[in-house]
């Protein structure tokens, strides 16, 4: 396994497709992805995982939802680096852990005190994953899209 960040230009389309399959929304027109705001996990030279992050300067997904943005409810601001989605092709192979470790390094590089993940309360697998990595609940609310439901704000100091 190899972790690369920023994401090399030739790998960005495959990384974007993997991320979009997990987090894409038909109401949003993506204008691409930011190589500097993410990392890829490679297996055999192929993209096997991707993580995006965001802060006050932007995130992994470029572009915006346009008028549908009126429906979006952002979570409270944070000084932490926010995980902007993590997706792996084959779960339970250590890719997610390696990508989180890279995000922790990025948080330290950007002088952030920690990482934050915003996870739908009904996403038991993601909550277990983050819990196993030491993330703790910092709050909850109805953030994101109206259909997302309850969202837990999870944090980890780095």
Give the domain extent around 42: 2-157
Looking at the 3D structure of the chain, how many domains does it have?
1
Report the pLDDT value the prediction gives residue 105, as an integer from 0 to 100. Answer: 98
CA distance 146 to 9: 34
Closest by CA to 117, choosing from 141, 81, 77, is 81
pTM of the complete model: 0.93
pLDDT of 27 above 90: no
Sorted by sequence, the CB contacts under 8 Å of residue 91 that are 6+ apart come out as 125
CA distance 117 to 108: 16
CATH number (domain holding residue 139): 3.40.630.30
Report the pLDDT value the prediction gives residue 103, as an integer from 0 to 100. Answer: 98
Per-residue model confidence as pLDDT tens digits over 1-16? 999 999 999 999 999 9
CA distance 34 to 32: 7
Per-residue model confidence as pLDDT tens digits over 88-108? 999 999 999 999 999 999 999
pLDDT of 66 above 70: no
- 153 by Cβ neighbours in 10 Å (0-12 / 13-18 / 19+) ranks as buried
């Amino acid at each position: 396994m190899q972790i690369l960040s920023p994401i090399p230009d030739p790998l960005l389309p495959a990384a974007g497709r993997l991320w979009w399959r997990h987090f894409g929304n038909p109401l949003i027109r993506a204008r691409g992805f930011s190589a500097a705001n993410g990392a890829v996990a490679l297996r055999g030279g192929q993209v096997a995982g991707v993580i995006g992050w965001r802060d006050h300067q932007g995130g992994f997904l470029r572009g915006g939802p346009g008028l549908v943005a009126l429906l979006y409810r952002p979570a409270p601001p944070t000084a932490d680096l926010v995980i902007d989605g993590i997706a792996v092709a084959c779960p339970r192979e250590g890719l997610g852990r390696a990508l989180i470790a890279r995000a922790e390094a990025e948080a330290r590089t950007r002088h952030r005190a920690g990482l934050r993940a915003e996870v739908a309360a009904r996403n038991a697998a993601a909550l277990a994953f983050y819990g196993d990595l030491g993330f703790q609940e910092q709050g909850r609310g109805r953030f994101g899209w109206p259909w997302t439901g309850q969202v837990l704000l999870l944090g980890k100091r780095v």
